[in-house]
Structure 1
């Protein structure tokens, strides 16, 4: 069973500034202590193939999961990560992918001072675990967007 969910938010910073954060390991530093206990680099330097171990706060459903950067497209400002260990894979999922897309804000009349950050979850769950699809939520991504938006907009001032 395949599904997708997405969430987007306007950021009052240029898309290049948002991309600097989302495309690098800097994102992990901003999120550590807020949406997770720790984010450790297992392998890599932030490019494709980088693997992170995300240790979650107690009560969030999983103790940890590992994700791998599968796409870092600088030209189109798209980054994709896939869970490769733990997390949703332990609940019968074949695939759990998160995509970050950063686009110019079409309603920005001042030219380049704001952007839209869209996050998309793509998942595939084995039929016998189809009920577990109900655990997929954009709530964690909404929290990530709120934290990063606040961080970027504060640092822009």
Structure 2
């Protein structure tokens, strides 16, 4: 078992509190903007705070069918969100979970800087390659740009 960490940083012209609201607090509404990427979301357990488990069913443009996310921490005041993928075909039989922390911070141009750290906990002696991670980040970036527009 190993843990592989990947970090990324991006920018947006949208202020952090507004972006946090759209991508974290109102995330269930994203399926209306991008039905090809997200078909549905359903709260399995909880009320939206830490410990909440959501099932996300992906749309036709995704290589995956579904994922279950657990909210680990949510801090609207500091625009920070941590969640873990705990079930779904994205984990296959090689990953135990994926934990992600996203922070949105004000930038000098009134937009924001988005920092994301993802930790992939593998099973056995599986070695995670960076190429599939980059592919996933590119797809997420396209979804982000569509919602940002």
TM-score by length of 2: 0.78
Determine the structure 1 residue equivalent to 2:38. 36
1-side partners of 2:40 and 2:118: how far apart? 21
Q: What count of residue pairs does the alignment treat as equivalent?
A: 145
2-side partners of 1:114 and 1:59: how far apart? 29
**Helix, strand or coil for the counterpart of 2:92?**
helix
Structure 1: runs of 5 or more not aligned: none
Greater strand share, structure number: 2
Structure 2: runs of 5 or more not aligned: none
Pair 1:61–1:14, CA change in 2 (3 A): closer
1:36-115 matches, cutoff 5 A: 36-57=38-59, 60-105=62-107, 108=108, 110=109, 113-115=110-112
TM-score by length of 1: 0.75
1-side partners of 2:5 and 2:132: how far apart? 9
Conservation of the 8 A alpha-carbon contact between 1:7 and 1:142: no
1:115 CA drift (Å): 0.4
Greater helix share, structure number: 1
The Cα RMSD (Å) is 2.5
